[in-house]
Each structure stands twice: as C-alpha cells, then as structure tokens.
Chain A
Amino acid sequence: MNIVVLVKQVPDTWAERKLDATDKTLDRASVDVVMNEIDEYAVEEALQIQEREGGEVTIVSMAPDRGVETIRKALSMGADKAVHLVDDALKGSDALQTSAALAKVLGTLEYDLVICGSEATDSRMAVMPALLAERLGVPQLSGARKVTVEGGTVRIERQTENGYDVVEGATPAVVSVVEKINEPRYPSFKGIMAAKKKPLTTLALADAGIDASEVGLASAPSQVVDFANKPPRQAGEIVKDEGDGGTKIAEFLAAQKLV
C-alpha cells in the first residue's frame, strides 16, 4: 500500500504570528516554523499502516525553501521519500488554489492513500481533505480517530460532535486524522541521519503541470481586504477567594445578565 502524507510547515504557535502589512499574507519569514502538529499524527498513522501493509510512504509538502526542514523531520520519523513543491509564484495561494496545486502533484504519484492532518494551526480552515477528495474524485474519509485497511477498503471512525460515524470507501482515498488517533514517534538519531540521504524531489510549477495563472495572490478566489492587530484582551477584575468566591462570581454573572 503506497501512502502519501501531506505535511505543512506552519509558524510556531508560541511565536508571535503576523500578517505582512504590504500584501496581507502570512509572514512566514520572520517567525520560527514547525511541522503542523496534527501532521505528525498523519505521518505516524502512515508508518503504522506501512508496517502492517507494506509499500512506500511519500511526504508531499507545498512550502517555501525552508519547508525542507519540515520535510526532513517527516523523513526522520521514517517516511521513505519526499516531494517538495516550491515556487515563488505559489505565494499567497488560498486553500482552493493550494488544493488544486497539490492535486496536480498527487497526479504525478502512485498512491492508495493520501493522509493528512485534520487542520493546520495557522489557517485552521480544516478544508484540505474535502477539497482534495472533490478534486481527485476519491472518497473523503476525514476526521478519523481510527483507520483500518482491509484489502481495497478503508474504514474510519470519524469523530463527530456526540460520538463517531463509521465511514468507508475504496482506495485510492483521502484520509485526515485527528490528534486522538495515535502517539507520534520521536525521530531517532539513526532516523535523523538516514533522513539526510533519503530521496527528496523538488518540483517547480511547470514540473507538476501547474499553470502559474491558477495560483498565487493575484488570482486567489478569496482575498484579504484589510486586517487589524487586535489589542490584547484586557484582564478584568481578579479577586482572591475569601470564602465567598462562588457567590462573588454569581454576582458578577448576574450584573452581566448572564444568569
């Protein structure tokens, strides 16, 4: 079973995240970057399926040059090879354009499963699995807290608001995973060393058959008109409990007409 794992490099949540004042895109240059946390669970799930089913695990990432760091991390966890889509013309692409570009890259690969994290910590849109499934014409098996593969059928437990749905589809399929699914491994020293020698293919737009007019800020179907940094939330009243703390909170809630 050949598996592609999509990973995204995102600003570290602990860093101050900003938009660029001139083009209103995410400032990726001035912040510390990490692999999107849930993507580590996607890599782990792919490796676990590979251990049972065999085949190859390929990492695919669309990112600026420094995205290589994140790709190497995924390789050091144990993936076999990687494809890095990198091109200046991609800057400012929105989710729809990104899904179109990734679908083109996936079209150059042979895969039974595409696995990704359920959402990224920077955009938090949580739409990539659905967008890709629609574009690729394959089953959307998203929000999985459990994945099982039997022959050509993939079955997931999809986390819902009050439990889970059992959803299945035939391979090839797109699967997205939630944090509950597994415990990602840490790259071993051996893994880190091995990752440096693993095949990493770099694709520019033309290599993947992507037309430059389909991607990038100028042609994005959604546009940021304006943005404002919000002043940090002001701390309100802080009170030490003198034995009547519960009553005091109730009084506050009543004053705010919340009870």
Chain B
Amino acid sequence: MAEVLVLVDHVEGTPKKVSYELLTLARELGTPSAVVLGKGASAAAEKVAAYGAETVYVSEDETIDSALVGPKAAVLAELVSSKSPVAVLVPSNAEGKEVAARLAVKTGSGLITDAVGLSSELVAEQPIFGGSVTVQSKVATGTPIVCVRPNSTAPSEAAGAGTVEQVSATFSDTDTAAKVVDRVVEDKGGRPDLGDASVVVSGGRGLGGAENFALVEKLADTLGGAVGASRAATDAGWYPHQQQVGQTGRTVSPQLYIAVGISGAIQHRAGMQTSKTIVAINKDPEAPIFELADYGLVGDLFTVVPQLTEEIQKRKG
C-alpha cells in the first residue's frame, strides 16, 4: 500500500494526542509513516509505532528547533521527493498549517487546512463559516497536503513495525531566516492544550472578574479539560489572550464544551460551534448560546458550577 506521511506534533519526544489521531486516520488511506522532527524525536518512535507507524523518519538536527517552521518544511519536502507519498497529513494548528503551507510551495502541491475528515479518495471534509457550511475538497496538483484538526478522529492503537530511519535535509538561507532565540512558557497549570483537549470549559463576562475564573479552572481540572475564555473576558484582562476561543482566537472542537457565563455572540460561536456536545450555563434565558447547546441550564453560575464540580468528583469517586 502507498505511504502516507504524518507529521508528528510532539514535545521532546512525547507526541500530542492529535498525532495519534492522524496516524489512525492515515491507516485508512495507506501505510502510515511518522515524521518526528526536533529535540527528543527518537524517543517518540515506539509511541507512534503503537498507533501503526511502519516507518518512523527521525531528525534531531538542532536547526529544526532554532529556526521557525522552515526546516520542518524542508525535511518533509525531501521526504515527499524521495518517498513519493500519496498524501502528507499535518496537525491543523498554528505551526502545522505554516509547515504545510511552506511544504506546498516547495513541492508545488495543493493545500487543504482545517479538515475534519478525509476519505480514501483523499476528499477532505471542512466545516467553514463557523460550521454553517460543510465543504468537500480535494487537492488537484502535486501531493495532497492536508491539515487535519485535533479531535477529528478517535485515536486507536494498532501495532506498526516502527522502523526508525534517520533523515536529513539541506537547509536554505530562507529555511533558517527566522531564528528562534528564546521559548518562554507562561504558567497554565499543567492543563492540556486548548486545541488538543477533549474537554474545554470556557468562562465569559458572567464571571464578573478574573478571580472567578478559579471556578472554571476547578471544573476543567475535574474533567481533565482545558480552560478557554470569551473575548469579553480576555479583553477585560481576566484571562490570558492565548486562551481566547472565537473568531479572533482559537478554534476548538472538543468532545465536550462547557460555556460558563458566555452569551454566545457569533464571535465566540465561530470558535466552538463544531464541538460534539455543548453545555451552557447562563442566567439569561435569552442568551444565544442556548440556541446551540445540547444541554442548557438557566441559572446562577456561582451556585451551579461548584455543585457540578462536586457532583462530578463524587461520581468519579
């Protein structure tokens, strides 16, 4: 069967969940090969083999982490040229999309981003306009490069050979022109990343102040979820901007999205509308968020949220 390249998103050799999802999807299309690049890449080999990777292309070249995006695209371009894969799957997050974009230019290929499904004929499904229209699209030129959103497929294990092959690439001046001189981690309390999380609990204007985000955080932690915020909340400085869910922030589509004190302006809905199950808690029965909630509770979040957190803790024993 034809080879499908999957770019693995990882932190020092620990793949993010989306990488396993993409490997699971790749098994439907052909023989999955994982491409793991950067610091700690070798450590990921066994882990990606457990999700079906027959070959694991590895490079720990320091340039990959010291320059932004370009080197990753260069390694992938060499693999596309030498292995002639039927498709390249890349996580549809900020960096993944940029790697894919540069790879598309380098290989003269078409590019699809934000796919939530991919058929065996390589027709991708994309929700657009905040999920109000579903598009089927395909790449007509070169090697299909498809960015797939996290939470699009349930990851399932299937043992692959996981044969490690070291790869290298020559980097042009353009590939290394943007130098990463520092990486700063701001505290986020060890929660999963917003884009990757199966559960997202978001807070909005109804919280009334930064200090009350503790309620949202506690509920999120009980569910093992990430914390999001509406634009009203980030604009007010109650929560960090990078946690904003919405049109000018992040797009999430978790299994469960809980909106706490969020009215549900279109700005916000554009970022969470494709969530599988939506629960809303708001004191205003007219809040537009209730139009898309699978379960809506009209009530005071300051009593409902602690009760919900406690009830879930109880059920978890």
Q: Which residues of the other chain, B, contact A204 by a CB distance below 8 angstroms?
A: none
Q: Which residues of the other chain, B, contact A162 by a CB distance below 8 angstroms?
A: 185-186, 188, 193, 242
How many residues of chain A are within 8 Å of chain B by beta carbon? 85
Q: Which residues of the other chain, B, contact A135 by a CB distance below 8 angstroms?
A: 105
Tell me if B299 counts as interface (CB < 8 A to partner A): yes
Interface residues of B in 294-312 (CB under 8 A from A): 294-300, 303-312
Residues of A contacting B: mostly? mixed
Tell me if A235 counts as interface (CB < 8 A to partner B): yes
CA A95 to CA B126, docked complex, whole Å? 15
- Closest Cβ of chain B to A213, distance in Å, is 13
Tell me if B2 counts as interface (CB < 8 A to partner A): no
Please state if B315 and A238 are interface contacts (CB–CB under 8 Å): no
CA A96 to CA B98, docked complex, whole Å? 12
- Nearest-neighbor residue (CB-CB) of A166 within chain B: B182
Please state if B266 and A166 are interface contacts (CB–CB under 8 Å): no
Residues of B contacting A: mostly? mixed
Tell me if B53 counts as interface (CB < 8 A to partner A): no
Please state if A227 and B186 are interface contacts (CB–CB under 8 Å): no
Please state if B138 and A222 are interface contacts (CB–CB under 8 Å): yes
Please state if B267 and A13 are interface contacts (CB–CB under 8 Å): yes
B interface residues with partner A (beta carbon < 8 Å): 68-70, 73, 93-94, 97-102, 104-106, 109-114, 123, 127-142, 173-174, 177-186, 188, 193-195, 199, 223, 241-242, 247-249, 251, 255-256, 266-267, 270, 273, 277-279, 281, 285, 290-300, 303-312, 315-316
A-B contact pairs, 27 of them (CB 8 A): A19-B133, A95-B111, A96-B111, A99-B105, A124-B251, A125-B97, A126-B98, A127-B97, A127-B113, A141-B68, A179-B249, A180-B241, A222-B137, A223-B110, A224-B136, A225-B123, A227-B134, A237-B295, A240-B285, A241-B303, A245-B281, A245-B307, A246-B305, A246-B311, A250-B308, A252-B279, A254-B315
With A141-B178, A173-B177, A228-B133 given, name 14 new contacts (CB 8 A).
A17-B133, A134-B106, A138-B174, A165-B182, A170-B177, A221-B111, A222-B112, A226-B135, A229-B133, A230-B134, A232-B292, A233-B292, A246-B306, A259-B315
A interface residues with partner B (beta carbon < 8 Å): 13-14, 17-19, 24, 37-38, 94-96, 99, 121-127, 129-131, 133-135, 137-143, 145, 155, 158-170, 173, 178-180, 220-230, 232-233, 235-241, 243-250, 252-254, 256, 258-259
